[in-house]
Structure 1
């Protein structure tokens, strides 16, 4: 029996399907034994991939980590072990830019087992219908509790997605000023302590209490979709405009220490198959990455319409840069955004600080105005 160690993130959506799939292999006597460890969402968002690659064969990661991973040689390219024809099929089946987000320099470095982007969420008992534009979001915040996702890297991700909606990179001072001004207005009326809560905590708070009516941008988690907690598309700047959102989700990567066997390749291919994506993964608290699954009647019925209600947003979502140093920039930029919202920094000072925080001023760290499929060519 060949044994592998994997690392994923500690939430039912991140771990349950992978552990159940590993148990399925052991029960079938395939000769494959995968043990999945799990770390927190915060650890997943910021922990160095190179350290994980020293200890794990399989790594569930977010695409912005690829710059650092490639610089340090932490990963094995997927196209070394899977055929080009198979990769092309998976690329065509993936929802939004979820597959393309793991391609850098003409190589595929991970496979999107899970697809997610920032979407809106509301308490149906407090907010009968979701706003369609940011003007409507700001107006709603004056009558019911509206919260922005601001903890950890999410302050910058919220800001960047709003810039996407308004049609420009964040280093456009006019757009950046308008977006920060709107964020300040909304955040000033938010319920206490919401700014410290990550997306999971915000969604659990919405599930368990009635002190948040609406969040315009939060990473979608099918696990919290219910008749009361309803997910929908992200707001646009104007009716019919681009739905501003930054794609997340997770990809399955192979570390440099991973000794790939035919049994492991078969297992990965099964995880990407329609059988797993439409059936097994949703049945085990996972969030699939194929468009077929997102459109499936049974999958949507079990998820209270989560997938169809947010499909337009993920199809329009922005892909973050994948250069070494981006993860640090994202953390630093979020701290700058929070200081701007609290009034510790003026808006012009915050925009200047964002530009100064870029690890390489020659790189257009705000590529929000580009269509997501084009971003992969630049990075």
Structure 2
């Protein structure tokens, strides 16, 4: 009889991030009776903020955000998977990537995680309420502003989400952020992006400055006052009948100027990494390969409420039928999503730069000063390099 092995994993506290891992762990244990996989969870904010360094010694498997890979690579926190997994596995993951999800875990010539979950901000809406009030679904930015003036728009507006939207509006005005080592974005483009954002957020209910995407989805499915959300990291759970009191429908974000000129949002999702200090590395690698495979992602993982990182699940008709075609309807936004920087030090920027942005969007002020503060935080973050 083989010696029992226990793998410990850490993930984040939502049905999307926890339940499919537990379901997969149960089935993996049935297929491999000598292996037990247990999962701990932390809050979404802890997932964004808590230092990975403190978690690695405690866990074999880690669900991570792709901006962590610069830090992981710098200090050897997790295994470079290209040195352990077959070329066939990695080629399959690359070929079936949802947008740049797979590539987002590449840094310094290595693959530090496998994309197990994919997301980007997309639009969501209450179809029943739009139909009831004979209201049209927004297709361009001006439509969003009109609906916001009527008080019917909800949007997650805590600092980190606002920062992700700031990148979107930099792209809208024609400048990709982070191309310079001295500033996130140039002054003219940065101010224009800030003022465009302010045109919406000056109309938004103050309550949303305290809400992340999960809380906004809970609000929209429980209340009848908000019909539309222009940007929020998508959660297919809320598109599933029975998950909440009412179903959310999801679609691509609006165009700017014309409906064809779709905005680009900022890639999220998660990756599955293997701790460099694990005492059971091969077993952890086997589990990671199995759970991120197309067959498991398209069946057990998706059926348990997961939001797969494997493209075959997003294109699977059976999977789409279970969630009001969430995956097919939002896939175009994923395919063009912007990838955040991953340098060692970026996370210190991300942790701080949303604060001045939120103050400006909430209370107004001088956009030049806001941009100066954001760029100062950026330069400080690069001193770690």
TM-score by length of 2: 0.89
Deviation per CA, 1:267-319: give whole Å up to 9, x if none.
22221222211111111110111222111111111110101110110000000
Aligned counterpart, 1:163: 170
Would you say 1:237 and 2:244 are equivalent positions?
Answer: no
Distance (Å, rounded) in 1 between the aligned partners of 2:78 and 2:227: 42
Aligned counterpart, 2:181: none
Distance (Å, rounded) in 2 between the aligned partners of 1:324 and 1:270: 30
2:60–2:281 Cα contact (<8 Å) kept = no
Distance (Å, rounded) in 1 between the aligned partners of 2:282 and 2:52: 25
Alpha carbons of 1:175 and 1:242: their partners in 2 closer, same or farther (altered >3 Å)? farther
1:166–1:237 Cα contact (<8 Å) kept = no
Question: Which has the larger displacement, 312-321 or 61-70?
Answer: 61-70
> Equivalent residue of 1:5, what SS?
strand
Using the TM superposition, give the Cα deviation of residue 362 of structure 1 relative to its aligned residue in structure 2, in angstroms.
7.4
Distance (Å, rounded) in 1 between the aligned partners of 2:227 and 2:294: 36
Using the TM superposition, give the Cα deviation of residue 163 of structure 1 relative to its aligned residue in structure 2, in angstroms.
2.0
Alignment of 1:202-213 (within 5 A): 202-213=216-227
> Equivalent residue of 1:218, what SS?
strand
Aligned counterpart, 2:340: 320
Using the TM superposition, give the Cα deviation of residue 221 of structure 1 relative to its aligned residue in structure 2, in angstroms.
0.3
Would you say 1:191 and 2:202 are equivalent positions?
Answer: no
Aligned counterpart, 2:21: 18
Which of residues 91, 102, 105 is equivalent to 1:102? 105
Would you say 1:172 and 2:182 are equivalent positions?
Answer: no
Distance (Å, rounded) in 2 between the aligned partners of 1:305 and 1:164: 28
Distance (Å, rounded) in 2 between the aligned partners of 1:361 and 1:48: 15
Unaligned runs of 5+ in 2: 178-184, 241-245
Deviation per CA, 1:185-213: give whole Å up to 9, x if none.
22222224111011101101111112222
Using the TM superposition, give the Cα deviation of residue 52 of structure 1 relative to its aligned residue in structure 2, in angstroms.
0.8
Which of residues 40, 47, 53 is equivalent to 2:43? 40
Question: Which has the larger displacement, 346-355 or 171-180?
Answer: 171-180
> Equivalent residue of 1:8, what SS?
strand
Distance (Å, rounded) in 2 between the aligned partners of 1:10 and 1:162: 29
Using the TM superposition, give the Cα deviation of residue 261 of structure 1 relative to its aligned residue in structure 2, in angstroms.
4.8
TM-score by length of 1: 0.90
2:63–2:272 Cα contact (<8 Å) kept = yes
Distance (Å, rounded) in 1 between the aligned partners of 2:366 and 2:159: 21
2:308–2:314 Cα contact (<8 Å) kept = yes
Would you say 1:181 and 2:181 are equivalent positions?
Answer: no
> Equivalent residue of 1:112, what SS?
strand
Unaligned runs of 5+ in 1: 364-378
Using the TM superposition, give the Cα deviation of residue 228 of structure 1 relative to its aligned residue in structure 2, in angstroms.
4.1
Note the aligned Cα RMSD (angstroms): 2.0
Aligned counterpart, 1:372: none
Which of residues 325, 330, 337 is equivalent to 1:305? 325
> Equivalent residue of 2:47, what SS?
helix
Alpha carbons of 1:261 and 1:67: their partners in 2 closer, same or farther (altered >3 Å)? closer
Distance (Å, rounded) in 2 between the aligned partners of 1:235 and 1:243: 7
Using the TM superposition, give the Cα deviation of residue 83 of structure 1 relative to its aligned residue in structure 2, in angstroms.
1.3
1:42–1:152 Cα contact (<8 Å) kept = no
Distance (Å, rounded) in 2 between the aligned partners of 1:165 and 1:315: 17
Count how many residue pairs are aligned between Structure 1 and Structure 2: 364
Distance (Å, rounded) in 1 between the aligned partners of 2:11 and 2:382: 34
> Equivalent residue of 1:149, what SS?
coil
Using the TM superposition, give the Cα deviation of residue 147 of structure 1 relative to its aligned residue in structure 2, in angstroms.
2.8
Distance (Å, rounded) in 2 between the aligned partners of 1:242 and 1:209: 29
Would you say 1:246 and 2:260 are equivalent positions?
Answer: no
Using the TM superposition, give the Cα deviation of residue 359 of structure 1 relative to its aligned residue in structure 2, in angstroms.
3.8
